[in-house]
Structure formats: structure tokens, C-alpha cells
Chain A
């Protein structure tokens, strides 16, 4: 679909400035693209390549390595159901099968109304809460088939848990912002040749005490 919007270009510049080497911003920028369109569009990748100063092929190379990046539109809600060992032991696979049956699609697919995508995922670090799942990367633990049905109903109707889950693509809703005047030491490593000031001499007390005299 689209190149990055003006607002997202501003965000992109802010992100790129936080790294000594611009290419480091690639993954966060691909997330911005995914947040904008719900998936990572080819135009967006070309745009990111221009912003970062690498080839579009390099952006595609990075993008395709990571599971969270979708190259095609997916559902508004992506249900990631964990079937790894701790969840398998307590019914994760049965939960996945139930979701597949209920939505009439296999893991990896999206419903015709574009509301839901199901994924069969690896451990999501909530093993003590098995069986567990994420909806657009928000955690829900100790889920049984009835609760899953209820969650699907709520998401369809826009009630209950729908209120706490942004649409697919939006990850963190609070972002880091460096305050004015901060971050100018973040420069290319070739431009730094010395130890940081506090690390330069071995007779430190004076050099390092700061406020503590």
C-alpha cells in the first residue's frame, strides 16, 4: 500500500537519531510501517530504505527473517495461541484446535471478514499461565475453550476485552522520547576514540565524584 505518512516520517527520523548507525533502526521502522497499514507494504519498505540509506533488498531481507512482520494484510485481531511444551501439557493444542473449529480456519489463515487471524506460536513467556495466548500481543492466561469463545464474541461485538486491545500493528502505545538536548553523544563509533571521561584516569575520586563531596 503506502509509503510512510508525514507523521511517521517524523517518527522515523526521531528513531534513526537514536542509533549510532542508521540501519539499526530497521526493525523499529518496520514496526511503524506495520502499525500504519496493518502489514508491511512494499512501498513502505522502499521508503524505509531511502530513510535509512540502504537498498530496498536489504530491508526486505531483514523483514522476512522476523515472524511478526506480515507481508500481506491479516485480521484486525491476531490470536497467537501457544502450543509449546508447558502449554501443550495443559491443553494448548486442544485450545488451538477449538479456535480453528470455531473460526473455520486453520492456523496461519484469516477469516473471510478479515476480523481474525490464528497463529500457532512458540513459547510466549507466560508458561505458568498455561494455556495462554496473545491477542495483538496482549496476554491472556489460563484460557479454556469457553473463555476463548467469549473473547471472540467480545472482539466481534467491540465489547469487553476489545477496549484494551488496539488493532493489529500497534505494538507499544508508550514510546521512548529523548528530551531536548539529550542524545548528541550517540554518534558513529568511528568518531569516538577515547574512553568516556569518567573512565580515563586511575585516580578517580576527584574525577568521578559528581555531587558527593
Chain B
């Protein structure tokens, strides 16, 4: 069953590393046919929705609330609480599944969609049943052709089996699930932009507050937006109960999460690990995780939660993978994307690359982000290219401050007497994309200012002559005017 590829990787699920330990969402990944209806049914599939249909919607909602299932899309908001925000008497309500995974470093929703689409579909059904949502749109990132195919296939099978659509499993519950796909735009992952995009528009975020999608969302109706991994947890929770779920992980972050660990480690991979009880050090150095740094190199810095997260360093290695302590320490677990950088990494180059991402992906709706991210990129590029000016570093911080005012969240640097600034950042923008561009900048500048300065000191001076340049003589047109 286990298809060992190179280095113990599962050839059919590139990047996923199977290890001992509790499995909530990756329990079928060891099977090569994990995406088929046969395998899903043979491993307890669709039992959760069948059980749920014998219980009240409120009790299913309660189970999820009790499980403290934190959203896995980035913000970490408890799903059960979000579900409660729909106004009582406005119908219809919709479910929109966020499968737009594009945060730099993030690789887990794609695996869940490609490897176990039925688990996701069952999760959608459970959420719909619990909250009274009769239609679900499953928004898959445009570039993920295989995920779209697997979900289409799974939906066709589930409809044919009477498990999705009219009168599910012979009950009076009817829920339609429609596969939708995007066309390449990171910002569409932001929930209000996702809704705009699903309405057929340019994917630009809506201003919130006052109205969140749960109150005014798709077509102006109450809409729950949940991440793929969040929903994939539901079948397990309903089958095994909230109490069993809370046996795993820690009190404020129960259960497991999928972590994609990439960069300069010996065995990069996607791991399902218990939250709270596993630390960054375990993930990076543990024998059943990444097995340490490549070539025995030293760790320089790491991104703990995707490109939007402020960077961590050696001192933060022993923090648990748990939302609260990571937030207090100045960053976020975000989308479970951990990027490891060793001492050979050029901090300016790495910083520029992440900033460039946000600059390219800014939707342009608000000025501080549209202009600011672009200037951050331009100025960083000239610093990297050796054309930086001594005033550039303060200018960069000033631009950052216009997008995200006040001290930006950062990790502590004890030897320098710098204290942690807790997450999240403030924003002058409509959505958090703009402020995210400031994360790599302040992280790198606070810690590695000398690297920036070294590039500026060594800059190629453009010769400036003491004499003002002569004004070019006007070309002689031979008179006549």
C-alpha cells in the first residue's frame, strides 16, 4: 500500500511524509487509490454524514464548537464560532470553500484535494447540514488541474451514489456542491475577494468591518468561508467526537495540522503533526520530521507561517506549534508553511523576493498597498543591485509604516534588548495583503541591518561631475519658426 518513492516519499503524493502519530486528515494518504470512492467507503467514508443526519444540526454545530476547530486558512478563527455569526432569519446561506492555496510556502490544501477529495466533500456536507447551508461552492485554485479533476470525479461519484444533491442518503436533506475554479490571483484567497471572484468579478477585497461574509457574503447573502483543511477535519470530529479531538494537541489549539516544511532542511516535506505539543525544533531537527539542516549548516532564520508571517530565529525554535504563543512571540502559524533558511542565505535577497510577491499580487484597490509595495520592491531591488543610497533603509521603514503604522510585529532579539511585538499588525489598507509585505522587510532589517548597509556601502557610485551638465544646444532646424 505504501508506495515508497525516493527517500521514503510517497511517490503518489509528492512531498507528503508518512510518520507515526495521530492522523486526522491524512489517514488515507498511504493508499495509492486514496482518492477513489471505493477506498473512501472502505475506510469509514460518509459514515459521519450518515450519523449526522440522525442528529440535530445544532448538535453537529455544538460538536464542532466544542472541538475548538481553528481555521487552517491563515487567521486561525474557530470554525464553530464563525458558523454562529449568520443572522437568524436571512435565507439562503451559502458555503464557499477556500481552495485557493497560494501563500508562499503553503502546500497542504492541494494534497487534501488531490489525495482525499471525498473527505473534503463530506466535510462540506457536515458544515452545510450544521449551519443550514443548502449550496456549497468549492473554489479551487486555477493552476491546480489535477485537484480540479479529482474533485470533479469525486463529486460525480458522490452525486451518483445519492450522497450529494437531492435527498442525501434518502433523507429530506438536499445540498448541492458545485466545483468552481479560479484563474491565477493570490488575492482571491482573501475571503471577500474570493466571493467577488465567485460572482464573476475582478478579485478585489471588500471593506470589512462592518459586514463580514457570515452576514453579507455571496450575492449579498450570509456566507461561510472555510479553508479546505478546516473542512477536511470535520468527518473525523463527527465520527470520533470533540472529546477525542481534544485529546490531541493542546487546550487552545487541539488536534493536528498539516505543516509544509521547505527550504534548507535535509528532508523537506508535508507532515501532519499535533499542534501545541510539537515545537519548531521538533519539526526541523526531529528524526521523523526534517532531520536537521542540510549539510549540517546553521539555521539563520525561518518563516513560521507563510510569506505573510514575520520571521523567527534560533531563539524561537522551542516555541510550540500553537497559535497563541506564536502570536505573542511576534508572528503567526498562518497557513502552516514553514520555510527554513540556513546561514548561506542572503537576507536582502530573501526579503526582496517575498516583498516582490506582495507587490506583484497587490490588487491595486487601495493606495498604501498599491504604491507602497511597489516602492518597497523598487528600493530593495536597487539596494540588492548595489545602487542603494544611505537614506534608503529609513525610507523603506517609512513606506512600511504608511502601510502598517506603529511598531510592526517582530520576534524578540534579547542580546540586542529588543522585545517582541505581538501579532497582528495594524493596517491602513482594505485587507491584510499590504501589511504582509512589511513582514519580511521589518524582520530582515531589524536583525540583519548590517547586511543591507554593507550592500549600500559597496554601491557603485554613479559619477557626478562638479560642473553642472551643459544644456544641450537646441538642434538647428534651419530657422523658419
Contacts and interface: CB of A to CB of B under 8 A. Distances in A.
Interface of A: 18-21, 23-28, 30-31, 52, 54, 58, 61-62, 65-69, 80, 83-86, 88-90, 122-130, 134, 136-139, 141, 171-179, 181-183, 185-186, 189, 192-199, 202, 204-205, 207-212
A176 B179 contact: yes
A119 to B, nearest CB: 10
Given A28-B180, A61-B202, A137-B145, A126 B14 contact: yes
A60 B276 CA distance: 47
Given A20-B219, A123-B102, 15 more contacts: A18-B178, A25-B200, A86-B262, A123-B104, A126-B110, A128-B15, A136-B145, A137-B145, A139-B146, A178-B165, A182-B165, A182-B166, A186-B178, A192-B134, A208-B171
B160 A125 contact: no
A59 B92 CA distance: 27
A197 B132 CA distance: 9
A68 B146 contact: no
A125 B268 contact: no
B275 interface: no
B174 interface: yes
5 contacts: A66-B183, A68-B183, A89-B350, A122-B102, A128-B260
Nearest to B188: A66
Nearest to B174: A185
Contact of B148 (A68, A172, A182): A172
Given A175-B152, A198-B173, A65 B202 contact: yes
B104 A86 contact: yes
Given A68-B142, A124-B143, A86 B263 contact: yes
Contact of A86 (B185, B220, B339): B339
Contacts of B264: 89-90
Nearest to A66: B183
B203 interface: yes
A122 B152 CA distance: 26
B176 interface: yes
B171 A182 contact: no
B57 A208 contact: yes
Contacts of B202: 61-62, 65
B184 A174 contact: no
Contacts of A20: 135, 219
B303 A85 contact: yes
A186 B54 contact: no
A208 B129 CA distance: 10
A205 B133 CA distance: 19
A171 B135 CA distance: 25
Interface stretch (B77-85, B354-362, B375-383, B413-421): B354-362
B200 A27 contact: yes
B301 to A, nearest CB: 11
Contact of B166 (A30, A61, A181, A212): A181
Contacts of A195: 91, 132
* 6 A-B pairs closest in CB distance: A210-B171, A199-B132, A66-B183, A67-B184, A26-B200, A23-B200
B173 A176 contact: no
